[in-house]
A and B are shown apart, each in its own frame.
Chain A
Amino acid sequence: MLTSIIVLGTMAAAAPWISRALGRFAGPLFALVAGGIFLWFTSSFAAVTQEGGAISEATAWLPSFGVDLAFRLDGLSLLFAMLITGIGSLILLYASDYLKDHHLRHRFFAFLIAFMTAMLGVVTADNLVLLFVFWELTSMTSFLLIGFDHDKEESRKSAVQALLVTGLGGLVLLAGVFLLGIAAGNAAGVQGGLWRLSEVLEVEGLTEQPLFLGAMICLLGGAFTKSAQFPFHFWLPNAMAAPTPVSAYLHSSTMVKAGVYLVMRLNPAFDDSLAWSWTLAGFGATTMVVGAVLAARETYFKKVLAYSTVSSLGIMVMFTGVSGEIGAEAAVGYLLAHALFKACLFLIAGSTTHATGSKDIETLGGLRRAMPLTAAAALIGGLSMAGAPPLLGFVGKELLLKATTHPPESFILWKKAVVLTGMVTVSAVLTVMVSVLVGWRPFFAKPKQGEPAEAHALSWRMVTPPVVLALLTLVGPLVPRFFAAPLIEGGMASLGHPAEYPIKIALWDLMFPFAKFSAAFALSIGALFVGTWLYLIRARWRPTLQKTLALINPISPLTNYDRVLKGTLAFGRWQTKVVQSGKLSRYVTAIVLTTVGLSAWALIRSGDPIQGYENSGRTFLDVTLLVLMAIGAVASTRYRSRLAAIASLGVVGYCVAVIFVVLGVPDIAMTQFSIETLTVIIFVLVIYALPRFNVYSGGGRRIFDAGIALAFGATVTVLVLTAQGNSTLATATQAGLTPISQTLGELSYVEAFGKNVVNVILVDFRGMDTMGEITVLGIAAIGIFTLLKLRPESQTAGTAPLPRLTESPADTKSRSMPNWMEAEQ
């Protein structure tokens, strides 16, 4: 599994170049590779689907954190992996023709294959952290794919929306993953948490852990945002801004099912908890109905399909929550059926749009002559979605109704069974209506006036994939042991409810037992008729539905999302205005006051800070230097010329350097001398660009500044005296400690082979600090470079100046310098 992920990842990275080099052959090549991986998964079919069979492998990655590249292939993973690689291979083939004239098609392949890699990782990962990593990767690649047409505002907006919703969900999931790992560790008595997913799920008493509820809520938060459960469903229809192959792949058959996968994966360990079953059933059922109603409202081909996908995702989540064999059978069976028919219909939506240029189903009609094979596939796909026999969709729906009408005793009372059955029936009826709309209307209905009669023919690369999917839908229930039944059984085993005998999904199995007197079969057939009738009279009720839904728009989740987003942005703007005032003096004040405050607090807490200090006497040289420094410092504030002020500051700096010489620290003295010299040179260069010297600050401000300066000076003085007091040998030995200067001095040559302790500290003992410092220096230099190179071009090129941070009347004279250097008003 790691190998296949590496192969796909490498192919994703190389895809743009391969695509450029091979042109139109690149798409089929990618499809072949994906198909090869599909075959590899198929070959492990027998080993995995047998009782308790699973293939595991693990490679160390970060063993100290419990993170390793662990993969595990069991029934559910295999089902997903085969969907991902199999449908993915068809999509790649389809996309290579669909996007053949798109100017960004090369990078499209890279994104799509990268997504395939990530998704394969999600469903095979056996480490919680690894699962999260892949999960996030699917969000990222989905963002890139939705925003693929990034020159359209709609695409960008939808991409950001999808990223924000699923990204937020990802963060919640991360929290959930950690909580789960810790809870499992506690339950199993393992220090540091348990991170191997398959081990976590086998821990006894997980649901009784105090952390379990938090973990469950967080994990569901991740799963529900990803799988577009109500109230997070709104991002999925908007994600239809992506090219159609992407919608078919990510937003119907694979990525949105990642949440369903997670829920199914966790189910065996979690379904002891009533909260788990009820949450899944509640959210799933709501999503199912909401999605179905919203789908009935739409007329745009892809939007109709998108909302019906939302509805289907709700179904899968709901039936995972219906515990017991029958619920698991329904969830997995519907999952398989849905992936096949929905991908097929999405591809057909793409084909009709590609051929006619129209996205509105109601304007299409009579396309069966122009694209007969596609029309046949659409009919099968539509019928399958409607749940008509003898297709796989029928099997899926039959299993659903069977599960609600025969609820296991432990889960639900008959009243609630009625509610759930009612909800499933409502959504089934609406789904039938939608299915007829997408499967029949564009191809077999009479075209309206003014409809696009012309439709250009499609190449085999766009015709084959939907036809293959339609055929699988057809073959599934006719030859159940071919692929459908074993896959469903394997998935059921992973859900914690292995089938006790080979499941019966063949047509005759389903129809005849129920044909006697079966509520499920009756409802199923009833839904077909009512749904078709609704389709025929849709002109009468759809406007009313649209109006009613428009009424509740102000409180819809999408409106609330917009509100929250706007609020966050407004808060960000306000905060930036307050914190980033753009005035240098404010920044300096903030930095100095914070330093003073924190140091003073620490010093006061330590009791009597200066106690250890011993006065070692003064020499004439000390006094002279101190007097010189004081004069220099005071003078620098009094001069009315910048050059003079800087020169007197230079005096202070050189005096400090001399003090270092006197104290016998030549290293620091040398550095100080060089720094002082260079500082003066740099200042001189800066001065040329500054406006004429002027007194900007009034009396009050000056007193305030003087106060800050004195406070800073006092703090540093106390700090130095304290440090000196603590480091004297006498105090330290009294306290039973070795002074750090002594330790470093002793270790310098022994450990680091250097006789110069200062240098050894810089490059070895505290080398990390130095590394940080030079990195900061490099960044600062690049900052200066950009500030000076990207100055407003107004005086040279006549273009508009860059936005300014401050407005100062004095700066009109000095447009040449960036405004951070300007004096404050």
Chain B
Amino acid sequence: MNSLIFQTAARTLLPLLLLFSFIILMVGHNEPGGGFVGGLVAAGAVAMYAMAFGAPEARALIRIKPGKPIPLTTIIGVGLAMAYGSAIIGTLAHGGTFMEGWWGKLPFAIGGLEKIGTVVLFDIGVYVTVFGVVLMMLFELEEARR
């Protein structure tokens, strides 16, 4: 979409929306939110960017180093690995019961957060997976139509 207004807005909104999605993810345990919604919001933000600048531009955005985008398959894999990893850690920590949550008390509270546990890792895994999956669908469909 070659609209200057939309493009400018997208560029400004993208970081804000990503930050918002992260907040949704992190407060999820006690306030409305969570990994699933957070992932959707983050994916929606990138989708908006893709509408403004095209899928290749948006793909190039997901990177650690400039010019080296991370493949979405990798992102999905990492997300699933985090979720399964949290399950395994929880299992090992409790010696038997699969996926039982494990909690550790933080030495000092970070923004009201006093304890941290495997379910946080699990939720982040959900976030990353959902983010990857939705973008995979969007990008592939977008590129298929060219």
A and B associate in one complex: yes
Encoded as 1 (CB less than 8 Å from any B CB) or 0, chain A from 753 to 788 comes to: 111101110111001101100110110111011001
Whole-angstrom CA separation of A781 from B28 in the bound complex: 25
In the complex, whether B18 has a CB less than 8 A from a CB of chain A is no
Neighbour of A686 across the interface among B40, B87, B141, CB < 8 A: B141
- Give the residue of A674, A685, A763 whose beta carbon is less than 8 angstroms from that of B145: A685
Q: Is A817 positioned at the interface, with any CB of B under 8 Å from its CB?
A: yes
Q: Mark B92-103, 1 if CB is under 8 A from A, else 0.
A: 000000110101
Q: When A670-B37, A753-B103 are in contact, do A774 and B29 touch as well, CB less than 8 Å?
A: no
Q: Please tell me the size bucket of the interface on B.
A: 35 or more
Query: With a CB–CB cut-off of 8 A, which chain B residues contact A756?
Result: 28-34
Closest to A776 in B: B133
- Give complex CA distance A753, B47 in Å: 34
B118 CB to nearest chain A CB (Å): 9
Question: Per-residue 0/1 for B20-59: is the Cβ within 8 Å of any A Cβ (1 yes, 0 no)?
Answer: 0000100011111111110011011001000100000000
User: Is B123's CB under 8 angstroms from A763's CB?
Assistant: yes
A681/B28 contact (C-beta < 8 A), A768-B99, A789-B140 known:
no
Contact status A774-B137, CB under 8 Å: no
A763-B35, A785-B73, A789-B140 in contact; A774/B28 too (CB < 8 A)?
no
Complex Cα spacing A569 to B73, Å: 35
Q: Is the interface of A mostly helix, strand, loop or mixed?
A: helix
Given contacts A670-B24, A677-B44, A685-B138, contact A759 B133 (CB under 8 A): no
**A678 at interface, CB cutoff 8 A:** yes
The answer to whether A777 touches B133 (Cβ under 8 A) is yes
B136 CB-CB contact with A under 8 Å? yes
B interface footprint on A786-820 (CB within 8 Å = 1, 0 otherwise): 00110100000000000000000000000011000
Contact check, A682 vs B138: say whether CB atoms are below 8 A apart.
Answer: yes
Closest beta carbon of chain B to A669's beta carbon, Å = 8
Chain A nearest Cβ from B18, distance in angstroms: 14
B45 to chain A, nearest CB (A): 10
Contacts of B126 in A (CB 8 A): 762-763, 770, 774
Contact A682 B122 (CB under 8 A): no
Q: Are B140 and A762 in contact (CB under 8 A)?
A: no
**Mostly helix, strand, loop or mixed at chain B's interface?**
helix
| Chain B stretch 106-129: residues in CB contact (< 8 A) with chain A | 115, 117, 119, 122-123, 125-126, 129
Q: Chain A: how many interface residues by the 8 Å CB criterion?
A: 43
Q: What residues on B are CB-neighbors of A681 within 8 Å? A: 47, 51, 138
Contacts of B98 in A (CB 8 A): 768
Complex CA gap A763/B101 in Å reads: 9
Bound state CA distance, A374 and B63, in angstroms? Answer: 66
Q: Are B145 and A689 within 8 A (Cβ)?
A: yes
B129 & A778 in contact (Cβ 8 Å cutoff): yes
Pick from B32, B84, B115, B133: contact of A781, CB under 8 Å: B133
Task: Kindly state whether residue A272 has any CB partner on chain B within 8 Å.
Answer: no
Contact with A along B65-97 (1 / 0, CB 8 A): 000000011001101100110010000000000
Closest to B129 in A: A774
CA distance A674 to B117 in the complex (A): 27
Query: Is A791 a contact of B28 with CB atoms below 8 Å?
Result: no
Interface flag for A667 (CB, 8 Å)? yes
A570 interface residue, CB < 8 Å from B? no
Question: A733-771, CB under 8 A of B: which get 1 and which 0?
Answer: 000000000000000000011111011101110011011
Q: Which chain A positions have C-beta within 8 A of B84?
A: 771
B130 at the interface (CB under 8 A from A): yes
Residues in B lying within 8 Å of A, measured CB to CB: 24, 28-37, 40-41, 43-44, 47, 51, 72-73, 76-77, 79-80, 83-84, 87, 98-99, 101, 103, 115, 117, 119, 122-123, 125-126, 129-130, 132-134, 136-138, 140-145
> A interface vs B, CB < 8 Å?
666-667, 670-671, 674-675, 677-678, 681-682, 685-686, 688-689, 752-756, 758-760, 762-764, 767-768, 770-771, 774-775, 777-778, 780-782, 784-785, 788-789, 791, 816-817
